[in-house]
Structure 1
């Protein structure tokens, strides 16, 4: 790990979506590094937080960087309105960036997603891929990215668009937790016939990269973020067995049968449907060469270390 003295010019940080999973981890991480952090949420719960409506120019001018995490996450149940995504992920970003440009704030970090580039990946996903998102979530993230890149950025300011893959860590209740519940109860994993590779991102590594961006302030641009190694879902199931202390069992049912069951699940609104089946079995490998080269860093947490930490947290 490279230790770099914090740039004293970037010490007051605004974090939108401060009460979300990433915000709840990033805030104490930056505080420990010596930053002053101000949370911005829709419904402030303390005098140290602001709403988007009360975010005045005075607050902007006394802040030296903003990490924009707020937005609407991808809805696996498929019940969200498409307009909700664009309102939360695109329009709010436009509003905040306009205020940023008119303020003395120096750095804007936008938390986008690899889904802004592609919902499915053949080979390895790089920042140069032609973006073709399919879902409303991905399209709304790409629309925000496009708007940000179209604006004229003063030479005194920096813009970093981050595209993380699936973020995990203690306290996260996403798809990893669903898989954990299956394996920890001794239920065999039935999708072993699918061979894939997936990238993950531990919250520790994400916080580390954001801190390095604030410290080093490299060239503005789009940056993928993921852990160093991609692993298969079968390997993940084995890790869950290791982390939970329960032996994992992997079954290899015919793919055609499983795909048919996924379609039935979509029709009957079952917990396992086509989209969740795709999430568990697809390959999605993210290339992070660009950001590691620009920052000259090694990530502090390996893929296995991060996943085991998350898995063990589910027991608590």
Structure 2
């Protein structure tokens, strides 16, 4: 039986994984953990746990909500998995479960220090899973993806796309950063490889594209795909940081948090999962994935 159960199948990643595995001859079903009878449909080879409360960038969410959804529901699901005949449990955590800032490169063995309720709730779920003895014949995967994107995803990339589309000059070209992304096609590929190869051992795995890109390179890709001239300007950092401090007080779009998000380094190593799969390179480059995402915004 090649059956996969997905939680969170209505979300961006869930829909994509559901359709991709369905197209590759898997029998895919979804369950909602909010339905009190979800355990009635708990027969499969694999459970992919994607349901969760996403990071609220506007910081309006109550911290307890994250723990209720991201920690407690995961515990309930994992306990049910341990008692079931299901062989594989794939939990989608996040790089933010272990690090809000990355000075060098993020590897799986980092000492976790999440600063947000979102990251802390994801880490609590990870710790619970890792604290349990795994029955013989079962595999447990904790996946830590970095920023996921793809056609139909309306995240931060969409905001940057709108800046370019509206011919607003990108003002932060003086900052040079390097960050990892994860295209949905590479994510799907890695999930399927885990399912196909039973020799891949249980463990914690970062998911990221092979290449890192700067925000400046990202703006150039958006400009190029959109057929717009790149209007980036390099305003001195000291001036930008001054404007950002004013933005913190008067709620201007360019504030300290925005500047940090657009200019921070966040490099994530994907070497562990590639070694486990037995490949040197993922099938899609970071640029390929980003171009595909940007084209979907234009459509």
Q: After TM superposition, is the score higher than 0.5?
A: yes
Kept after mapping to 2: 8 A contact 1:19/1:41: no
**Are 2:215 and 1:224 equivalent residues in the alignment?**
no
Kept after mapping to 1: 8 A contact 2:32/2:38: no
Deviation, 1:254, is 2.0
CA distance in 2, matches of 1:101, 1:114: 25
CA distance in 2, matches of 1:222, 1:81: 28
Distance change (3 Å), C-alpha of 1:268 and 1:168: same
Off by >6 Å, runs of 4+ in structure 1? none
CA distance in 1, matches of 2:253, 2:194: 39
Deviation, 1:221, is 0.4
CA distance in 2, matches of 1:17, 1:150: 24
Deviation, 1:93, is 0.5
Distance change (3 Å), C-alpha of 1:272 and 1:70: farther
Deviation, 1:88, is 1.2
Secondary structure of the structure 2 residue equivalent to 1:201: strand
Kept after mapping to 1: 8 A contact 2:148/2:182: yes
CA distance in 2, matches of 1:270, 1:81: 24
Distance change (3 Å), C-alpha of 1:270 and 1:155: farther
Deviation, 1:155, is 1.5
Selected match of 1:307 from 264, 271, 290: 290
Selected match of 1:293 from 275, 278, 283: 275
CA distance in 2, matches of 1:40, 1:193: 47
Selected match of 2:250 from 251, 268, 274: 268
Q: Which aligned pairs between 1:151-300 and structure 2 lie closer than 5 A?
A: 151-217=132-198, 218-297=200-279, 298-300=281-283
Distance change (3 Å), C-alpha of 1:260 and 1:52: farther
> Could you state the TM-score of these two structures normalised by the residue count of structure 1?
0.91
Kept after mapping to 1: 8 A contact 2:142/2:205: yes
Q: Which residue of 2 aligns with 1:5?
A: none
Secondary structure of the structure 2 residue equivalent to 1:262: helix
Q: Please, which runs of 5 or more residues in structure 1 have no aligned partner?
A: 1-8, 43-50
Q: Which aligned pairs between 1:31-50 and structure 2 lie closer than 5 A?
A: 31-41=22-32
Give the number of equivalent residue pairs: 297
Deviation, 1:263, is 3.1
Q: Which residue of 1 aligns with 2:45?
A: 64
Deviation, 1:278, is 1.0
> Could you state the TM-score of these two structures normalised by the residue count of structure 2?
0.96
Deviation, 1:262, is 2.5
Once the two structures are superposed, residues 206-237 of structure 1 have per-residue CA deviations (whole angstroms, 9 ceiling, x without a partner) of 01111111111311100001001001100000
Query: C-alpha root-mean-square deviation of aligned residues, in Å?
Result: 1.3
